Amino acid sequence: MEKVHFRINNNIGRISFDDAKANAMNPRFFKELHSALDHMEKHRVEVLVLSGRDNIFCAGLDLKHLATIDSQENARFTQMFARTMLRLFTFPIPTIAAVSGHAIAGGCILALPCDYRIVQSGEYRIQMNEIRNNMSVPNWMSLICAHSIPSHRLTEFVLHARAYTPDEAFRLEFMQECCEDAAQLKAAVETKVDDLRELDGKSYAITKKWTRNALAERALSHLKDIQAVNY
């Protein structure tokens, strides 16, 4: 069963995550996401929307997979994770994250690189929980957080690994909009799609490159030192 599904309609790209479970990230997830991003770039979509399913955006890395691999394979997996998220961070097309469920650890990092984030109210968490689970937060992940989280909230978000409700994430400006239900989320996404598609795509891509690529390249330069991470 595919984990990552994608389509283009009216020149708007849509990538959705649904494996009927927790949308956990493993090599197959990253391979499928790269293929979807390749497809969107090839067809030069005007805007790209990422979404999960009801109650789950993405619950993070596939811990069952990590438990089966050795340190060398862990290092390769870690680099795959980093390169995929940094690709999304620097993606030359406007991106929207429609978050309708748990976005935890790596799942939170999947939402944060997007240029605009809309969240739906509900009984779920948005959290970078690595340190509470005896896991370090690497340089590249900290970079994405620092770019997306208000500076005065960064310590509690990353170092204190605080869990937030969707409404808190909006109030504290991690998310740009908060919707009451699925219908409102869908409407808000389409309104923002219409807004972003009016922008000049070439100018957007160049400016995004200038503001983000150097940061991403600096983070990537640290990857050669990674042996394995303690996930």
Give the CATH number for residue 106.
3.90.226.10
**In this predicted model, what pLDDT tens digit does every residue of 45-68 receive, in sequence order?**
999 999 999 999 999 999 899 889
Tell me whether residue 177 is in a domain.
yes
Tell me whether residue 210 is in a domain.
no
The answer to whether 48 and 96 have CB atoms below 8 angstroms apart is yes
Tell me whether residue 98 is in a domain.
yes
**In this predicted model, what pLDDT tens digit does every residue of 200-215 receive, in sequence order?**
999 999 999 999 999 8
Tell me whether residue 144 is in a domain.
yes
**In this predicted model, what pLDDT tens digit does every residue of 167-223 receive, in sequence order?**
999 999 999 999 999 999 999 999 999 999 999 999 999 999 999 999 899 888 877
Tell me whether residue 220 is in a domain.
no
Tell me whether residue 178 is in a domain.
yes
Tell me whether residue 11 is in a domain.
yes
Tell me whether residue 101 is in a domain.
yes
Q: What is the distance between the alpha carbons of residues 121 and 182, in angstroms, rounded to a whole number?
A: 9
Q: How many domains does the chain have?
A: 1
**In this predicted model, what pLDDT tens digit does every residue of 90-99 receive, in sequence order?**
999 999 999 9
Q: Supply the pLDDT for residue 75.
A: 85
Residue appearing with tokens 């499928």: 32
Range of the domain at 46: 4-183
**In this predicted model, what pLDDT tens digit does every residue of 70-120 receive, in sequence order?**
888 888 898 999 999 999 999 999 999 999 999 999 999 999 999 999 999
Q: Supply the pLDDT for residue 63.
A: 87
